[in-house]
Structure 1
Amino acid sequence: MKQTVFEILEGTSRYQKTSNAVTAFIMSIVVLSCIAIVIETVEPLSVKFFNALELFEYFSIAIFTVEYVFRVWACVESPKYNHPLFGRIRFMLSPMALVDLLAILPFYLTFVVADLRFIRALRLLRIFRIFKIARYSKALLTFGRILASKKEELIVTAVLGLILIFFSSSFMYFIEHDAQPEAFASIPDAMWWAVITLTTVGYGDIHPITLSGKLLGGFIAIVGIGMFALPAGILGSAFVIEEVFGHRRVSMKNHFVLCGLGKIGIQVMKQLKLFNKDVIVVEKNKNNPLLQTAHDMGVTKVIGDIRMEETLDQAFIHDAQCLIAVSDDDLANLEAALNARKAKKDIHIVLRVLDHNLAEKIQTGFGIESSFSPSALAAPAFAMAAIDRSVIGSFYVGDDLMLNMELVIKKGAPLDGMTTVDLEKTGDMSILAYEDAATGKRMLHISESIILRAGDKLVLSTVPDMRNRIHEINRPA
């Protein structure tokens, strides 16, 4: 029951139709409630429709209260708020939960507060209901994500603006104070002029009359155009990026969600794109330089913590074919895998786990069959490459080590003149590739018998015990 309520309120694909209906209903109540607040201020209408407005207020409060209670009750289904007490407290203190609370709080406080002026002020708080739309509007949620992603740049711009206001008002005060002691009585008074000038509003109630003041005012007005255009440029570029990625994500299904864009992640991404697979990259660090590589390759990105369900939801994990978690944090990879399996039970999961022992335990304990330790995978490759330079790759199949060897047939060796069929009969091996030295033609998965000649190249798959035997038959007599 609790899980069902949570998924309906959060809009997961499992209950998409029900969730859409609930969203449309609550949004309509929010809009009608705001219209009712406006009508209450128009005296003829408020008197005429007093009873209807009052009944609708009770109805909307009941709906908003039920929604708020259900959200607090079901929020523990999210890993972010999974503690039964402290998780709910954290949820209640989240921005959108506070908006939900402010939408209903004024109504209930009127029963415990007798001061009419305070009640009137509380009723004014009902206008916060309009912010409830942000929870259900994709456009407003997008705007919120953009503000969050560009907060550092916007803060820097705001600080520069405050510095400019301070300096311009200070200089203007010292320039104009003697000429206009009332208009520029203090630096705070001059700040009003600075704000109006920098924003290019120009009410004209306060303006410089001295030559120095006019020159400074003109300079500040020109600077203000560029200064206050910066946030528009920052947000505009972010909207363009979000629009590109957003459209790309909307139609994406049966895609691969790649968590962690590090040295391994970037190579995995390139391999997936080589096979023309749709990929969404999830990366926590928005300043990761590899994100530009992903962008250049047309890969969609999601900035966020891979451990959070909301982040995986942005990557449409419910419609994904596979989750690949290759971040440097083993526990984060495991938590992302468990959340993905919770969202979609049949999703294929591939984990990078640095600890080889932990990788084996994850395979047996959590039923995640594809859990790999890069160090364990790389160890035999490094060791065999050091032992034998003809070994170009090695890997385990179960408990058996397999080698890929590349050979050039030597003149006068037993291999020179032997057929491919006879070669495979000499032991536990198979020919993966053959290249004819005379024509340069390369063949994979050889099905016919070919006579080997000196200079021809072979790629063999075999076991370590056959390595010496292969070198023996390729040694000139």
Structure 2
Amino acid sequence: MTVYAKTRSRLAAVVVRRDTKAGVAFDYAVQFLVLMALAVFSIGTLPDLDPADRRWLEMAETAILAVFTFEYALRIWVSENRWGYVFSFFGIVDLVAILPVFWFARGTTDLVFVRSFRLLRLLLIIKAVQSSEAVFRLKQAWWQIRDELMLYGAASVIVLFTAAAGIHHFEHKAQPEAFKSVFHSLWWAITTLASVEYGDVYPITTGGKIFTFFVAVTGLGVVAVPTALLASALTKTKRPEGP
């Protein structure tokens, strides 16, 4: 084995594998940096922050994102299937989370866009749980019930459209501003099916109220069915404890 191959193999044991002391330490270090990045992000939103302190926060942010950029490149280098990692879920999360580094390097002056772009750092929350055993089981559970969830998702879209079309039929004449079209009625359909009900738009006709009752009852299943499917799959994937 060449020096190149040995170095790559040793780094893979640290960066990719989680059954070694070095790998566990690396994961904890990444999670610590994620928490630091989120703390810097949160402190930076304080309105009365001293300019000098804000500069220190920006320097800390740049340093942390630079480390994550190096980590992203390192993960690509040690991966057996490099393109597989790049286009995987966590590979995309890793890339998107460090995109502000490349944008800042361009020296943009569009501060509004930069501030919006910095919200991508919130994806670091996902990165923090990347190495969690629970996430591994969750991925397995999702893979087991993916067909059922896809079918249920398609059915939910049909129910959502039916709810929007139905409430538009009952309420359009009584509330033309709130229910201008089926598309405007989608907001009501989403909040009702999700059992949120903000109360900003609601039916006032008898037909609309009766229709809302059936939509609300249907909404219980919209939340309960996928939750039950996922809970059942997680139970099956949970590793048995003890001998």
Instruction: Give your verdict on TM over 0.5.
Output: yes
Select which of 110, 120, 126 maps to 1:125: 120
Select which of 10, 31, 37 maps to 1:4: 10
Alignment CA distance shift 1:216-1:94 (3 Å): same
1:98 is aligned to: 92
| TM-aligned CA deviation for residue 48 of structure 1 | 6.0
- SS for the counterpart of 1:136 is coil
- SS for the counterpart of 1:229 is helix
Select which of 97, 102, 107 maps to 2:101: 107
Match for 1:5: what amino acid?
L
2:83 is aligned to: 89
Tell whether the 8 Å contact from 2:17 to 2:23 is kept in structure 1 after alignment.
Answer: yes
RMSD: 2.2
Q: CA–CA distance in 1 between the matches of 2:177 and 2:225?
A: 34
Select which of 181, 185, 190 maps to 2:185: 190
| TM-aligned CA deviation for residue 113 of structure 1 | 4.5
Post-superposition Cα deviations, 1:377-430, rounded to whole Å, max 9, x if no partner, equal xxxxxxxxxxxxxxxxxxxxxxxxxxxxxxxxxxxxxxxxxxxxxxxxxxxxxx
Select which of 158, 164, 169 maps to 1:169: 164
Post-superposition Cα deviations, 1:135-182, rounded to whole Å, max 9, x if no partner, equal 222222322332232222122222222111211221222222222222
Tell whether the 8 Å contact from 2:18 to 2:24 is kept in structure 1 after alignment.
Answer: no
| TM-aligned CA deviation for residue 46 of structure 1 | 6.0
Tell whether the 8 Å contact from 2:34 to 2:124 is kept in structure 1 after alignment.
Answer: yes
1:247 is aligned to: 240
Match for 1:54: what amino acid?
E
- SS for the counterpart of 1:182 is coil
Q: CA–CA distance in 1 between the matches of 2:198 and 2:45?
A: 29
2:214 is aligned to: 219
Of Structure 1 and Structure 2, the greater helix share is in 2
1:205 is aligned to: 200
How does 1:271-286 map onto structure 2 within 5 Å? Answer: none
Gaps of 5+ in 1: 82-87, 253-477
How does 1:63-462 map onto structure 2 within 5 Å? Answer: 63-75=67-79, 78=80, 81=81, 88-116=82-110, 117-243=112-238, 246-248=239-241
Tell whether the 8 Å contact from 2:164 to 2:186 is kept in structure 1 after alignment.
Answer: yes
| TM-aligned CA deviation for residue 128 of structure 1 | 1.9
Tell whether the 8 Å contact from 1:8 to 1:19 is kept in structure 2 after alignment.
Answer: yes
1:39 partnered with 2:43: yes
1:341 is aligned to: none
Alignment CA distance shift 1:174-1:25 (3 Å): same
Match for 1:137: what amino acid?
S
Match for 2:14: what amino acid?
I
Alignment CA distance shift 1:168-1:139 (3 Å): same
Q: CA–CA distance in 2 between the matches of 1:180 and 1:66?
A: 56
Tell whether the 8 Å contact from 1:113 to 1:119 is kept in structure 2 after alignment.
Answer: no
Tell whether the 8 Å contact from 1:72 to 1:91 is kept in structure 2 after alignment.
Answer: yes
1:22 partnered with 2:26: yes
Q: CA–CA distance in 2 between the matches of 1:57 and 1:50?
A: 10
Q: CA–CA distance in 2 between the matches of 1:192 and 1:52?
A: 43
Tell whether the 8 Å contact from 2:34 to 2:128 is kept in structure 1 after alignment.
Answer: yes
| TM-aligned CA deviation for residue 51 of structure 1 | 4.3
Give the number of equivalent residue pairs.
Answer: 236
Tell whether the 8 Å contact from 1:30 to 1:129 is kept in structure 2 after alignment.
Answer: yes
Of Structure 1 and Structure 2, the greater strand share is in 1
1:263 is aligned to: none
- SS for the counterpart of 1:42 is coil
Tell whether the 8 Å contact from 1:27 to 1:136 is kept in structure 2 after alignment.
Answer: no
Query: Rg bigger for which structure?
Result: 1
Tell whether the 8 Å contact from 2:145 to 2:230 is kept in structure 1 after alignment.
Answer: yes
Alignment CA distance shift 1:242-1:45 (3 Å): farther
Alignment CA distance shift 1:22-1:166 (3 Å): same
Higher relative contact order (CA 8 A, sep 6+): 2
